Chains A and B, each alone.
Chain A
Amino acid sequence: MKLVCILKAAWSSLRELPRNAVAQMPAMLAEFERVGERIMVMRRVGA
């Protein structure tokens, strides 16, 4: 879930982003791909 957090943090407030967050992202993306994991967006239609 950490990558989701970093993405959201980067978008919400670049100034508050941990210094190493963006630096970590390429390695995390590579690890996600290695284990076959990815980020998804899901939608639930209103009742």
Chain B
Amino acid sequence: MNLGTPLPEFSIQPAVLQHAAAIHQLIQEADLFQHGLDWRNFLVALTPSGEFIGCGQVKQHRDGTWELASIAVLPAWQGRGVGRAVIEALLARHPGELYLMSISALKPLYEKFGFVEIAPPRSSHSELPRNAVAQMPKYFRRLTRMPAMIAEFERVYERIMVMKREAA
């Protein structure tokens, strides 16, 4: 009878090419952003038998900033610390400044890892306060302005109409 330390349920490892398809599939099923999924940026969570169960990455943007992104876990493995382990491993590999973009429901989760929200807008439609905009790198600044831009386009579009006058 073995009374030693139980085997870990999963391990976190750098992704290899053979994980690329599983990463894409999981990100798609999780409804996450599907661009910028270079497997070389990913860490993956694997069972002792090598089964892929989760992933996450840190990727660099053109403005030089780094983003924590694509954190996803298979539904059957959610709630078992896989996502947390992936995030911890990614943060250990990238100790410098990091950004992330998420829905506000996940704020408590990311605060546990030392992330601080950049001054929140009043709502999705609202323009961000100027001090918040000034704190954001270019990539995130433009992204967060888009909802207000789209809302404005929609407002303007509602005033456009096509009319016709029948010939006499």
Asked if chains A and B come from one complex, the reply is: yes
Tell me which residues across on chain B come within 8 A of A47, comparing CB atoms: 95-96
Among B96, B102, B103, chain A packs the most CB atoms within 10 A around the CB of B103
Q: Range of interface residues on chain A?
A: 20 to 34
- In the assembled complex, how far is the CB of residue B127 from the closest CB belonging to chain A, in whole angstroms? 13
- In the assembled complex, how far is the CB of residue B151 from the closest CB belonging to chain A, in whole angstroms? 6
Task: Decide yes or no whether B80 CB sits under 8 A from chain A.
Answer: no
**Number of interchain pairs (Cβ within 8 Å):** 124
Task: Decide yes or no whether B14 CB sits under 8 A from chain A.
Answer: no
B window 71-98: CB within 8 A of A: 91, 95-98
Bound complex: CA of A41 vs CA of B142, how far in Å?
Answer: 12
B125 touches A33 (CB 8 A): yes
- In the assembled complex, how far is the CB of residue B128 from the closest CB belonging to chain A, in whole angstroms? 9
A38 touches B101 (CB 8 A): no
Using a CB–CB distance below 8 Å, which chain A residues touch chain B? 1-5, 7-13, 16, 22, 25-26, 29, 32-33, 37-47
Using a CB–CB distance below 8 Å, which chain B residues touch chain A? 30-36, 68, 91, 95-105, 107, 110-111, 113-118, 120-121, 123-125, 135-136, 139-140, 142-144, 146-147, 150-151, 154
